[in-house]
Amino acid sequence: MVGLRVSAPVAVPPLHTYVLARDDNVVGVRAPASPVRGRVDFPDDVDDVLRFRLRRGETLRAGLVLLAGSPARLDMYLFGPSTTDVTDLRQEPLFEKTRALAADPLRLRATARSTGPHFLDVLGKATYRLGWSIWSPGVVSDLTVSNDPFTPNGDGRADRTRVSWDLRRRGEVVLRIRDGDGRLVRHVDYGREPEGRESFSWNGRDQDGRKVAGGRYRVRLAWRDGEGRLSRSGVRVTVRR
């Protein structure tokens, strides 16, 4: 793979790189499966094609950073599952250029309309770094709190609230609670969790065991599968003193 260095929000996954028919790098030759790493300065045109398997409704977010000394001549395109030639834009409905791309050629955000392989084409002239993630809706579902508001004053009534959720795919789970100003007050890293129902009981105290002030708090659950897929869900709860 030429002119490419990948930085993902999680560990670099086993991405597959493909060179399709009429690709400028190696015509008609498919590259072997491997993690995409390293940097190569490439003085000529870049036409790099990366293959992502997306489920319907998942959103691919990608961003390019030009490395020092590179001319600003890059663009990104996303093609659908039936693509046979990324250079032929007449293959409707394979060409899925987004409205956001028209405003910023270094950013792409596109939601898959069908399940299957999708192809991200980086076209232009530069040495660059690519950051990407796949947002998967609905992996964390039915996020609720049992008591809202709750009154953690030690009287035995509504001293705690139970945060519950359903996890629909295995993955790493982190729970964060922030106050109205966005400050982190509680953090729980569950590590890798199986599918199923889970819960967390909050007593209205911060990470150091101190009572938090009364007010509105945001509970957010974040999931990732370790291969670039992410999902989040949130709920609010009120502490009364």
Tell whether 61 and 21 lie within a shared domain.
yes
Instruction: Looking at the structure, tell me whether residues 213 and 95 fall in a common domain.
Output: no
Domain stop point among 85, 107, 135:
135
> Does residue 50 sit in the same domain as residue 128?
yes
* 99 and 43 fall within a common domain: yes
pLDDT for 3 beyond 80: no
Shared-domain flag, residues 32 and 100: yes
What pLDDT does 47 receive? 65
Question: For 138-155, what is the mean pLDDT?
Answer: 94
Q: Are 121 and 149 found together in one domain?
A: no
pLDDT for res 75:
77
pLDDT at position 120 is 82
Give residue 81's pLDDT.
74
Mean pLDDT of 190-194: 96
Cα–Cα distances (Å) from 134 to 131, 171, 193, 226, in that order, read 11, 14, 19, 11
Three-class DSSP category at 99: helix
pLDDT computed for residue 185 by the predictor? 98
Q: Does residue 221 sit in the same domain as residue 178?
A: yes
Distances (CA, A) of 186 to 120, 151, 159, 162, 180: 38, 17, 17, 14, 13
Q: With residue 78 as reference, give the H or E element that holds it.
A: strand 73-79
CATH number of the domain encompassing residue 62 = 2.60.120
- Domain C-terminal end among 88, 111, 135: 135
pLDDT band at residue 86 using 50, 70 and 90 as cut-offs:
low
Q: Into how many domains does the chain fold?
A: 2
Residues 177 and 77 in one domain: no
Do the Cβ atoms of 130 and 64 come closer than 8 Å?
yes
Q: Which domain holds residue 93?
A: 4-135
Cβ pair 215, 128 in contact under 8 A: no
pLDDT over 80 (residue 144): yes
More confident residue, 179 or 42: 179
84 and 161 assigned to the same domain? no
Residues 103 and 9 in one domain: yes
When pLDDT is cut at 50, 70 and 90, the band that residue 215 belongs to is very high
Of the candidates 216, 57, 82, the one whose C-alpha atom is nearest the C-alpha of residue 149 is 216
Q: What is the mean pLDDT of the chain?
A: 76
CATH of the domain at 146: 2.60.40.4070
- Report pLDDT for 131: 85
Among 67, 101, 135, identify where a domain stops.
135
Please provide the DSSP assignment of 216-240 as one string.
EEEEEEEEE-SSSEEEEEEEEEEE-
Q: Which residue has the higher pLDDT, 51 or 132?
A: 132
pLDDT digits (tens, 9 = 90+) for 23-54: 444 434 443 333 333 333 344 455 677 778 88
- The predicted structure's pLDDT at residue 85: 57
Residue 8 class from Cβ within 10 Å (0-12 exposed, 13-18 middle, 19+ buried)?
middle
Separation CA 113–CA 132 (nearest Å): 19
The pair of structure tokens assigned to 145 is: 């709190």
Q: Are residues 22 and 103 both part of a single domain?
A: yes
Residues 150 and 73 in one domain: no
Which secondary structure element, helix H or strand E, spans residue 132, and what is its range? Answer: strand 128-135
For the stretch 102-127, pLDDT in tens is 557 788 888 888 888 888 877 777 77
